[in-house]
């Protein structure tokens, strides 16, 4: 369960983010994204302390990275995060931009077969590129897509975020008792569930990610085994123009046991991140272990 944060700091972050995301909507789409990306990197990120968190995570996961490259990464990661939020706040403009984007990759045949057979699909990914681009393209490709999302810790900003997640095409299930029940019904009907598995889960297992112990959820892999779903990584990789995406469907992860399946996802995700380091959201406290550890 996400611990809600209230108080002066979170409120000021909410005010800054709201201004950064709403005012640029007056700009044409191709200017809006770089504008919000710049503001995220030079205004909101430093105010919220995200720049320090990125540096701390890079120091742990990539200790040999030169300091000048770290500086570049901080700017690039925050810029990508800003672009992602600008896309979310762009609604139908973002959705329509993706209509010419197609699914690709070695796992596409398996995913299409699962859809044809009415077999439920769990499409797994992480905070990388823009995961909502993948969700949009699967919807446009005819999949019955629903997404599980974790509420933002900032209680003020979460209300806007939740409204946009639930207002997006397809279905969205909040990580709560009611949302989880709706999600299970969706799977049982043969739907596709899009879910991000790269955040720390203190009730999970201590697996490896970037060579460091990372508390990783096992619940989704267990659900894949229970409901015999296709368990398949899907990644939305931002193109060099900053506006469009490649949506890559990797080979499915074979059913075995939950820990093996989730370690394979961590390994696959790490390999994907290493190809585009700046597109990973290095802001989360991914490697912080519980106090008991």
**φ/ψ bin of 215: left (φ > 0), alpha (ψ from -120 to 50), beta (otherwise):** beta
Are 159 and 267 in contact by the 8 Å Cβ rule? The answer is no
pTM above 0.95, yes or no: no
CATH 3.40.1130.10 residue ranges of the chain are 101-279
Largest CA distance in the chain: 52
What is the per-residue DSSP string for 69-88?
Answer: HHHHHHHHHHHHHHHHHHHH
Residue 204 near residue 217 (C-beta atoms within 8 A): yes
- Classified by CATH at the fold level, domain 101-279 comes out as Glycerol-3-phosphate (1)-acyltransferase (3.40.1130)
Are the C-beta atoms of residues 193 and 219 closer than 8 Å to each other?
no
Neighbours of 250 (CB within 10 A): 22
Per-residue pLDDT tens digits for 230-276: 999 999 999 999 999 999 999 999 999 999 999 999 999 999 999 99
Q: How confident is the model at residue 172 (pLDDT cuts 50, 70, 90)?
A: confident
Return the bridge partners of 195, or none.
124
Convert the pLDDT of each residue in 100-155 to its tens digit: 999 999 999 999 999 999 999 999 999 999 999 999 999 999 999 998 877 666 66
The answer to whether the beta carbons of residues 208 and 93 sit under 8 Å apart is no
Q: Name the pLDDT band for 4 (thresholds 50, 70, 90).
A: low
Q: How far is CA 207 from the centre of its chain?
A: 19
pLDDT confidence of 291, banded at 50, 70, 90? very low
Name the residue with higher pLDDT: 13 or 182.
Answer: 182
Q: How far apart are CA 278 and CA 241, in angstroms?
A: 14
**pLDDT tens digits for range 194-226:** 999 999 998 899 999 999 999 999 999 999 999
> How high is the pLDDT of residue 152?
65
pLDDT at 17: 67
Q: What value does the mean pLDDT of the chain take?
A: 89
How many angstroms separate the first and last alpha carbons of the chain? Answer: 19
């Amino acid at each position: 369960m996400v611990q809600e944060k209230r108080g002066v700091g979170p409120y000021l972050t909410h005010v800054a983010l709201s201004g950064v995301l709403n005012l640029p909507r007056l700009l044409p789409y191709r200017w809006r994204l770089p504008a919000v990306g710049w503001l995220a990197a030079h205004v909101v990120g430093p105010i919220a302390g995200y720049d320090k968190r990125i540096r701390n995570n890079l120091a742990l996961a990539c200790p040999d990275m030169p300091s000048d490259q770290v500086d570049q990464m901080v700017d690039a990661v925050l810029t990508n995060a800003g672009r992602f939020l600008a896309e979310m706040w762009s609604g139908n403009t973002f959705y329509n931009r993706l209509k010419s984007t197609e699914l690709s990759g070695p796992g596409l045949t398996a995913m299409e077969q699962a859809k044809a057979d009415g077999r439920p699909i769990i499409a797994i990914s992480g905070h990388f590129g823009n995961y909502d681009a993948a969700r949009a393209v699967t919807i446009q490709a005819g999949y019955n897509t629903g997404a599980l999302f974790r509420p933002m810790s900032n209680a003020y900003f979460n209300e806007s975020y939740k409204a946009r997640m639930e207002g997006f095409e397809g279905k969205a299930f909040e990580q709560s008792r009611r949302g989880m029940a709706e999600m299970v019904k969706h799977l049982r009907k043969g739907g596709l569930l899009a879910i991000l598995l790269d955040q720390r889960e203190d009730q999970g297992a201590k697996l490896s990610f970037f060579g460091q112990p990372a508390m990783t959820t096992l619940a989704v892999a267990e659900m894949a085994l229970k409901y015999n779903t296709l368990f398949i990584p899907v990644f939305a990789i931002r193109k060099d123009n900053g506006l469009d995406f490649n949506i890559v469907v990797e080979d499915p992860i074979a059913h075995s046991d939950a820990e093996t399946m989730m370690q394979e996802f961590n390994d696959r995700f790490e390999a994907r991140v290493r190809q585009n380091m700046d597109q990973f959201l290095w802001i989360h406290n991914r490697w912080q272990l519980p106090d008991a550890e």
